[in-house]
Chains A and B, each alone.
Chain A
Amino acid sequence: MNQPNTLIWKQTIPGGCHWSGIIRRGTTLRMTDVDGGANAAVLLFNQEEKLERYNMADTLKSQHTFRLTKGHACHSDMGRIFCCITADTAGWNDTVCGLSDADLTQQKYGTARYQEHRNQMFRSGLDGMLIELGKWGLDMRDITSNINFFSKVTTDASGELTFQAGNSKAGDYVDLSFVMNTLVVLSTAPHPLDPKTSYQPGAVNLEVFDTPPEAITECLHISENTRALKNTQHFYCGGKNESA
């Protein structure tokens, strides 16, 4: 699969922390679960018009899927694709369980304040997202159903949800190959359904590299993705080499 042989930058996000930044079209963001069992909650926005954002419903129904993995694309609410998932070694990323908030974190793990614990304090997914969104003039209104990379939640016929522990092992990674200039907002706080009783969120490594040629053809076997990519090309006023 893709090799980061054109590495542009890399950064480690410790467990429980948060990050945001612009990932350019034509580049790939690789997220690596450093120790296994990490969760990377992610929201996506069009850098030029942040009202355009990742849309869970449009993403799921256009690809007839509940889980996201290699071969799927992350769709915006405007009929375009932010990125294609061009590698996924764990095989399942949760789309519906949302973020841990301060109440949930306190109930599950107790309290660990900055005053006693410094940067090992317990942080929630929602609070991390709100801080990052604030840096870009965004707020609570801009929080919709996020993707929880590395986490697997299945459902039975009655709709009952089960968190599948052990989905992601140390070294597992997900590649997001971007076709739009995208604001990526990320939290590495625990998945809200993770049954672990101690607060030990895993670190996630971020690496950005040039997307290898043809990589995004991976998700074009779904004709809905081909049409959404066409809409994306129209947005950037071109049709040539947009996929690279």
Chain B
Amino acid sequence: MNQPKLIESQLDPRHAIIDEICAAGEPWVKVVKQGQTFRIVDLEGNQAVDTLFFNAHNALERYSVTDTIRAQNKLYLTTDSKLCSNFGKVMLTIVADTCGRHDTLGGACAAESNTVRYALEKYPMHSCRDNFLHALAHDSTCHQLHMSKRDLPNNINFFMNVPVTEEGRLEFDDGISAPGKYVEMRAEMDVLVLISNCPQLNNPCNAYNPTPIQLLVWDQRSN
């Protein structure tokens, strides 16, 4: 059985220094400083939140799925999981999680992968990679870090449930998230957060209905 570590946070949203809504299907970019706490809330349930982290001062250092999996010898993320960089450093630590399991393997949807997974005609549909590239084209911090498609590795899918069997099959199971579930992490370095609030309309995992998420950041001493 899965052993999710369900831990609630003591932080009060009224004391957050950032409290924003990211609409369904939109990108979101923000710098979270070392020591700050960052929360993602799945407002309506089973929303995939495709997320990447970069060293806010050097985009060459970025979230790495292989380093993260190796550091804990585990495929899934929950409370106490350390999100590691391609330089082997801990970027963030998950400190609270009311969902219990987050995916590291499914990556982001893209126009091109939609043609493979669903049908060649799906190419024009909005996708997570379009969101990432839109953000890279418009966000001033991404500009300063000279970021491009080359800097986009495989991402985390918060709130998604993608179990792997002992025989090596990858399943896309029904979500285990629900309205109001959240995951919260402490930044161990200054990180640039790059999110695509997934616009996928072909996959039953979100009931074909992308929904908004809430993003909060607390300063070290805000509670």
A-to-B contact residues, CB < 8 Å: 51, 55-58, 60-62, 64-67, 75, 77-80, 92, 96-99, 101, 103, 140-146, 154-161, 192-193, 224, 227-228, 230-231
Contacts and interface: CB of A to CB of B under 8 A. Distances in A.
Given A66-B164, A157-B2, A158-B1, A57 B88 contact: no
B149 interface: yes
B149 A161 contact: no
Given A96-B75, A155-B164, A64 B2 contact: no
A55 B74 contact: no
B60 A60 contact: no
Contacts of A141: 60, 150-151
B35 interface: no
Contacts of A77: 110, 112-113
B115 A101 contact: no
A228 B106 CA distance: 18
A143 B86 contact: yes
Contact of B166 (A51, A58, A143, A154): A154
Interface string B51-77: 000000000100011110110011110
Given A158-B74, A160-B74, A224 B117 contact: yes
Contacts of B171: 64
Interface in B1-24: 1-3
Contacts of B2: 157-159
State the main secondary structure of chain A at its contact with B. Answer: loop
Nearest to B151: A141
A141 B23 CA distance: 30
11 contacts: A55-B113, A58-B113, A60-B170, A66-B165, A79-B111, A96-B75, A98-B65, A154-B166, A155-B166, A158-B3, A161-B74
Given A66-B169, A96-B65, 14 more contacts: A57-B106, A60-B170, A61-B162, A62-B113, A62-B117, A65-B168, A92-B168, A96-B105, A97-B69, A143-B86, A144-B153, A158-B2, A160-B74, A228-B116
